[in-house]
C-alpha cells in the first residue's frame, strides 16, 4: 500500500471510531483429523482454544455468543454456523450492528475443509458466510492451500488491504483470510507449539499488531502483522515460504476492531525504547505471544494473570535476554536492562514440543506362560490398573508413564502324589514405561519398554498346613498399545505387555507372563 493509501486508511479508521460497539458472534473450530491419508495435526485444537480464549477476553465476544468445536465434524460445524447466523439475524432485527467471525484450524485438500471423515467445500463455506445475516462476516481459515477459498479478482497475497473511506455507516460485507496461498502448505511448529499463522494472528490480537498504539487491534492491523510475521517465520523452513491471502469485500466506513485491550488492566508493557523481537513463554515453555517492535511507541500485550518468561534474541546472535515475569491484576513493564543475558544454548524454548498429561484407568488379565507356574506358582489373575502418562515431553511422539496395578486370582497348587491344594494369589505392581507413539488418524499405535517392581503373595487354606508366601522382584518387559480417540479428551485404549519375572525361591528360573488391559484414557490438558 502506498503512503497515501496508508494515510487514507488511518483517516477512515478515525472516522469509524465513534460507531456503536457491534454485537459479536464467533464460531471457532479445531480439527486435527483430516481423514484417510492425512497426518494428524498436533496443534489444531490448541490453536482453536487459543483463538476462542482471546475472543472472549479481548475480542468483545460474550460466552453465550461463542461456539468452540473440537473434532466435532462437518454437521456440528454447519449446525453451529446456522445457529449463530440466526442469533445475528435476531440481533439485527433489534437494531444492533453485528459481526460474525468464523475461525477454522485443520486440514484442507482438493478445495474442501477436511473435518475427520467429512468434507466441507470451500465454495459451500464461502456461500454460507456470504448469505449469513450479519453486517460483517469474517472467515479465518488456517489450513493447507486455504487460499483457494479467496479465489476472486479481489483476492490478494499482500500485507495490507484498503479500508473504505466513505463517510456514513460502518463497515458492511465479507472478508476472507487464509493462512496460505492456494498452492502452499500451512505449517505447524514444535518450537512454538502452534501453527505459524495462528500463532502470529493470536499474538497480534493480544497487542502485537497494535501499530497505531490506541489499544485496539483492527482487522487490517491483525492481517498485516500476521502476514509479515508468517512470511518471516517460514522463509527458511523446509516447507517453503507461506503467504497468507485475503478476499476483501467491505463497504461503508472504517475498519473492524477485532480486539480491544483498553478494558484489560494487566499484561506486559513494552516501553517506547524497547526494540526487537520479544517472545513470551508460559510456565511450560510454550510460546503464548510475541511482539516484533520498533523503537518509538509503547506496546502492550494483554495476557491473563500467571507466570511467564520473556526472551529476546540479541541482534548480533551472541545470546538472549531472558527474564521471568509474574502477572497479577496490574501491568508489568519489560526492561531490557533488567533481563539476564544467557547463551543461545540456554534458550528456555529450545527443543520444546509441549508436554501433554493423561490418566488411564482399566481392567485386564495376567497369565504366565509356564504351565507349572500357571498351575502351581502363579494362577491366572485379574488386574485393575492405572497409569499417569506424559506425551511429547522428551521429544515429538515420545512418551513416558508411571503405572500401578492390583490384582489376584485363585488356582490349585499341584505337587506329585498330593491332592491339589487351593491357593489364593495376590499381586501389587508399580512400573515405569517409555514408548513411542505413531498416529494414524484417530488411531495411535504405541511400542516401548517397561520396568516394574512386583510384590506377590500366596495363601492356602488353614487345613492345608502350608504357610503364606511372599515374594518381591523386578519384572522388565515390552509394552504395546492401540488407542482410539473418541472425543478431544477421551480415548479407548487396549494395552498389552510381555514381561519376565526373576524367580529364585525353590530354584533359579525366569518366568515369562503376558498382561492385557482395556481402559479409558482422559487427557488432563491440551
Domains of the chain (ranges plus CATH)? Answer: 3-260 (3.40.50.1460), 267-346 (2.60.40), 356-523 (2.40.160.20)
Contacts of residue 481, defined as CB under 8 A and 6 or more positions apart, other chains included, come to 435, 444, 445, 446, 493, 494, 495, 496
pLDDT band at 5 (very low <50, low <70, confident <90, very high): very low
SS (H, E, C) 31-51: ECCCCCCCCCCCCHHHHHHHH
Across 30-39, 131-140, 278-287, 349-358, least confident range? 349-358
Contacts of residue 232, defined as CB under 8 A and 6 or more positions apart, other chains included, come to none
Indicate whether 145 pLDDT > 90.
no
Indicate whether 500 pLDDT > 50.
yes
Q: The whole model's pTM is what?
A: 0.66
Indicate whether 7 pLDDT > 60.
no
Contacts of residue 117, defined as CB under 8 A and 6 or more positions apart, other chains included, come to 35, 36, 73
- Write out the three cell numbers for 150: 479467496
Indicate whether 151 pLDDT > 90.
no
Indicate whether 10 pLDDT > 70.
no
pLDDT in tens, 221-269: 999 999 999 998 888 777 788 888 888 777 776 789 999 998 877 789 9
Q: 98-109 and 136-142: which strand pairing?
A: parallel
Among 148-157, 186-195, 301-310, 404-413, the range with the most confident prediction by mean pLDDT is: 301-310
Tell me the three state secondary structure of residue 259: strand
Q: 98-109 and 23-31: which strand pairing?
A: parallel
Count of other CB atoms within 10 angstroms of residue 35:
16
Indicate whether 153 pLDDT > 70.
no
Q: What is the mean pLDDT of residues 38-47?
A: 88
Q: What is the DSSP annotation of 358-392?
A: EEEEEEEEEEESSHHIIIII---EEEEEEEEEEES
Q: How far apart are alpha carbons 330 and 269 in whole angstroms? A: 10
pLDDT of residue 349: 67
Indicate whether 28 pLDDT > 60.
yes
C-alpha to C-alpha distances, 492 to 34, 59, 288, 388, 489, nearest whole angstrom: 20, 37, 31, 15, 10
Mean pLDDT taken over the chain: 83
Indicate whether 29 pLDDT > 70.
yes
C-alpha 280, offset from chain centre = 17
pLDDT of residue 81: 97
Q: 320-327 and 23-31: which strand pairing?
A: unpaired
Indicate whether 6 pLDDT > 50.
no
Amino acid at each position: 500500500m502506498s503512503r497515501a493509501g496508508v494515510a487514507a486508511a488511518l483517516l477512515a479508521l478515525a472516522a469509524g471510531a465513534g460507531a456503536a460497539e457491534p454485537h459479536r458472534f464467533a464460531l471457532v473450530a479445531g480439527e486435527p483429523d483430516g481423514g484417510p491419508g492425512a497426518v494428524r495435526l498436533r496443534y489444531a485444537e490448541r490453536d482453536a482454544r487459543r483463538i476462542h480464549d482471546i475472543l472472549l477476553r479481548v475480542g468483545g465476544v460474550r460466552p453465550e455468543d461463542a461456539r468452540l468445536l473440537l473434532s466435532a465434524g462437518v454437521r456440528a460445524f454447519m449446525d453451529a454456523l446456522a445457529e449463530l447466523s440466526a442469533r445475528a439475524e435476531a440481533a439485527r432485527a433489534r437494531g444492533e450492528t453485528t459481526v460474525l467471525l468464523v475461525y477454522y484450524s485443520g486440514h484442507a485438500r482438493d478445495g474442501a475443509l477436511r473435518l475427520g471423515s467429512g468434507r466441507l467445500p470451500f465454495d459451500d463455506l464461502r456461500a454460507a458466510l456470504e448469505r449469513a445475516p450479519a453486517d460483517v462476516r469474517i472467515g479465518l481459515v488456517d489450513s493447507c492451500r486455504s487460499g483457494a477459498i479467496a479465489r476472486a479478482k479481489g483476492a490478494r497475497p499482500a500485507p495490507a488491504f484498503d479500508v473504505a473511506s466513505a463517510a456514513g455507516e460502518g463497515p458492511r460485507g465479507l472478508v476472507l483470510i487464509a493462512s496460505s496461498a492456494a498452492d502452499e502448505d500451512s505449517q505447524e511448529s514444535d518450537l512454538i507449539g502452534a501453527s505459524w499463522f495462528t500463532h502470529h494472528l493470536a499474538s497480534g490480537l493480544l497487542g502485537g499488531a497494535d501499530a497505531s498504539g490506541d489499544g485496539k487491534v483492527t482487522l487490517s492491523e491483525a492481517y498485516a502483522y500476521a502476514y509479515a510475521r508468517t512470511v518471516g517465520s517460514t522463509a527458511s523452513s523446509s516447507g517453503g515460504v507461506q503467504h497468507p491471502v485475503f478476499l476483501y469485500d467491505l463497504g461503508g466506513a472504517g475498519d473492524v476492531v477485532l480486539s480491544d485491550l483498553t478494558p484489560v488492566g494487566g499484561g506486559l508493557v513494552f516501553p517506547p525504547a524497547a526494540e526487537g523481537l520479544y517472545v513470551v513463554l508460559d510456565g511450560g515453555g510454550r510460546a503464548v505471544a510475541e511482539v516484533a517492535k520498533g523503537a518509538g511507541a509503547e506496546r502492550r500485550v494483554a495476557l491473563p494473570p500467571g507466570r511467564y518468561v520473556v526472551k529476546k534474541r540479541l541482534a548480533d546472535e551472541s545470546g538472549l535476554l531472558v527474564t521471568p515475569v509474574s502477572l497479577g491484576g496490574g501491568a508489568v513493564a519489560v526492561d531490557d536492562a533488567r533481563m539476564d543475558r544467557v547463551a543461545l544454548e540456554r534458550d528456555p524454548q529450545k527443543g520444546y514440543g509441549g508436554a501433554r498429561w493423561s490418566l488411564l484407568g482399566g481392567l485386564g488379565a495376567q497369565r504366565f506362560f509356564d504351565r507349572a507356574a500357571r498351575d502351581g506358582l502363579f494362577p491366572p489373575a485379574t488386574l485393575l490398573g492405572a497409569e499417569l502418562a506424559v506425551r511429547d515431553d522428551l521429544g515429538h511422539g515420545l512418551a513416558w508413564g508411571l503405572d500401578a496395578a492390583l490384582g489376584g486370582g485363585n488356582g490349585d497348587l499341584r505337587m506329585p502324589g498330593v491332592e491339589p491344594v487351593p491357593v489364593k494369589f495376590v499381586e501389587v505392581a508399580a512400573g515405569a514405561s517409555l514408548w513411542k507413539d505413531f498416529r494414524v488418524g484417530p488411531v495411535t499405535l504405541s511400542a516401548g519398554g517397561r520396568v516394574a517392581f512386583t510384590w506377590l503373595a500366596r495363601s492356602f487354606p488353614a487345613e492345608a498346613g502350608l504357610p503364606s508366601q511372599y515374594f518381591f522382584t523386578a519384572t522388565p518387559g515390552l509394552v504395546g498399545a492401540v488407542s482410539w480417540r473418541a472425543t478431544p479428551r477421551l480415548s479407548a485404549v487396549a494395552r498389552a505387555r510381555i514381561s519376565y519375572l526373576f524367580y529364585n525361591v525353590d530354584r533359579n528360573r525366569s518366568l515369562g507372563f503376558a498382561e492385557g488391559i482395556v481402559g479409558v484414557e482422559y487427557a488432563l490438558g491440551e
